Chains A and B, each alone.
Chain A
Amino acid sequence: MDRDGTAGPDPAGHDDRGDERRHGHGPGNSRHDGPDRPGESTSSTVLQVNGSIHHLRLDHRTTLLDALREHLDLTGAKKGCDHGQCGACTVLVDGRRVNSCLVLAVACDGPVTTVEGLAEGGRPHPLQEAFVARDALQCGYCTPGQLCSAVALLAEAAAGHPSHVTPPRAARAGGPAELTRDEIRERMSGNLCRCGAYPHIVDAVTDAHRETVR
């Protein structure tokens, strides 16, 4: 619909769009309901990033990572491997961490949060403060992905999601996960750090976890 510029979505309604789309009904679904033209290789799309709405016309090949970096000048998310193996491109979509290099921008659902959107009210996110305090980086290239990943890690642990190293009995019981160092290492295993700052990253996540459960 908005592909033709005839019915631009109402920005005021955007907050609900992600949820509506997820459940398969509601006006938010109209984004790609326009005439499908097989053979066409671009679409108009709407991305909500760090609270701002962006209307973009994108080649279907554009990944969410490229849309952020090349179209929205949000260069926090980094292109490392571009194949979903390093985690440098990790962002949050609807609060869930994903590899933005493997998400097609036209298929992206829900609000996106990048490292640029973690701070609130001019104050860094507790994880950002912990990374600084613990010197949890060397070159810093993987850090935006590490931070977004760790934000989601704390939420997943609080929601009781088990991991590969969670003892079977605890996994069965559910409840908030106990974040031992082994748990943090396993849960951060999708983010590589070629400088090898892992021990300090684990320290920083441990500190931020203590902060959030206190």
Chain B
Amino acid sequence: MKPFAYVRAERTEQALAACAHRPRAQYLAGGTNLVDLMKLGVADPPLLVDIGRLPLDTVDETPDGGLGIGATVRNSDLAAHPLVRTRYPVLSQALLSGASPQLRNAATTGGNLLQRTRCPYFQDVSHPCNKREPGTGCPARDGVHRDLAVLGHSPHCVATHPSDMAVALAALDARVHLLGPDGPRVVPLTDFHRLPGDHPEQDTVIRPGELITEVVLPPPAGAGAYRKARDRASYAFALASVAAVLDVADGRVRHAALAFGGLAHRPWRARAAEEVLRGAPAVEETFARAVDAELEAARPLRDNGFKVPLARGLAVRVLTDLAAAS
């Protein structure tokens, strides 16, 4: 690891000021991904601005009945929060299916969104990687890519976003509140992460020096659940996962939101599937047709074609279970 300077921010403005005009400075919160990447030589910030003590660690009901989640709320605290457990179980389940208790105790809301891909080539500096060093190539495309993307990848990058939490937030229509040198702005979570395209080095639309301050959820729009498939029973990244929110009235779908994890460079909101679902009978046949409409766009690589039927099975099952319970 290369030497670096360290400052601790007590106020949000202090954090922004410390990062201003220091384009390679990074904010440090839980550090569960950043410190690891620094050990691996993938990240080498000259300055860490510690935001762990900023007063962004609360979960509060919003006036419209939604939920405001502070950027430094720990993943474990968020998963156990009574309002999350009772009103947004899809979020609690997604959080609890990720990482380990130790990691969830440290990892934060904002850090979870900004974590980097676990693509083996990105994490190994002895290999080229367009995400780590633009223009050097993507060995994963023809190499070890069993865990990587089947949707939305580009010739330059086939990485997947590793978060479970973000998949639930995508289905919940969460909005990301940012504060930067030019003031505050709000970005829908589904627009926060990018597809790789020609610039896989940019995971998100966050600007230099910008800080995530809060993630805001609208009031619950239906019953929700998260389901994840992985190589072992616990403590592993998703091969494929699905977050679903479903509201059924008189046997028909009134609201449906579906998002996939483990399939793409960002949480994959399944808009094509939702279009099929809206107003349709809430039965397994509809769910299968809707999911197929979405996964038509899949372009598996040599060794990860299994992800398509895996994701299909997960999604149909989750929607069927939610419909049965409603």
Contact = CB atoms under 8 A, between A and B. Distances in A.
A99 B35 CA distance: 12
Interface string B92-128: 1100110111110110000000000000000000000
B147 to A, nearest CB: 15
Interface in A177-206: 185-187, 189-191
B48 interface: yes
Contacts of B270: none
Contacts of B7: 32, 36, 38
Interface in B43-73: 46-48, 50, 52-55, 57
B23 to A, nearest CB: 13
Interface stretch (B80-88, B130-138, B198-206, B207-215): B80-88
B39 interface: yes
B191 interface: no
A48 interface: no
Contacts of A104: 6, 28, 31, 35, 48
A190 B6 contact: no
A33 B76 CA distance: 29
B18 interface: yes
Q: Interface residues of A toward B: which range?
A: 35 or more
B96 A163 contact: yes
A103 B38 CA distance: 12
B80 A161 contact: yes
A87 B234 CA distance: 14
B1 interface: yes
Contacts, number: 145
A53 B106 CA distance: 23
A178 to B, nearest CB: 16
A136 interface: no
Interface stretch (A67-75, A90-98, A113-121): A90-98
Contacts of A123: none
B5 interface: yes
B306 interface: no
B36 A83 contact: yes
A153 B101 CA distance: 9
B106 A98 contact: yes
A68 B35 CA distance: 17
Interface in A22-37: 22-25, 29, 31-33, 36-37
B56 to A, nearest CB: 9
A38 B101 contact: no
A176 interface: no
A129 interface: no
Contacts of A97: 101-102, 105
Given A162-B79, A189-B235, A152 B101 contact: yes
A69 to B, nearest CB: 16
A109 B86 CA distance: 31
Nearest to A107: B50
B8 interface: yes
Nearest to A21: B53
Contacts of B97: 164
A33 B100 CA distance: 33
21 contacts: A22-B53, A32-B50, A40-B5, A41-B4, A83-B39, A97-B102, A99-B106, A102-B36, A104-B6, A104-B35, A107-B8, A107-B28, A107-B31, A109-B53, A149-B101, A163-B96, A171-B93, A189-B100, A189-B233, A190-B100, A190-B103
Q: Which 8 A-B pairs give the minimum distances between C-beta atoms?
A: A190-B100, A41-B3, A189-B234, A32-B8, A161-B80, A164-B96, A60-B6, A189-B235
Interface of B: 1, 3-8, 10-11, 18, 22, 28, 31-32, 35-36, 38-40, 46-48, 50, 52-55, 57, 76, 79-80, 82, 85-86, 89, 92-93, 96-97, 99-103, 105-106, 225, 233-235
Given A87-B102, A104-B31, 13 more contacts: A22-B57, A24-B53, A38-B5, A39-B5, A60-B6, A83-B39, A83-B40, A102-B31, A104-B48, A106-B6, A107-B6, A162-B96, A190-B103
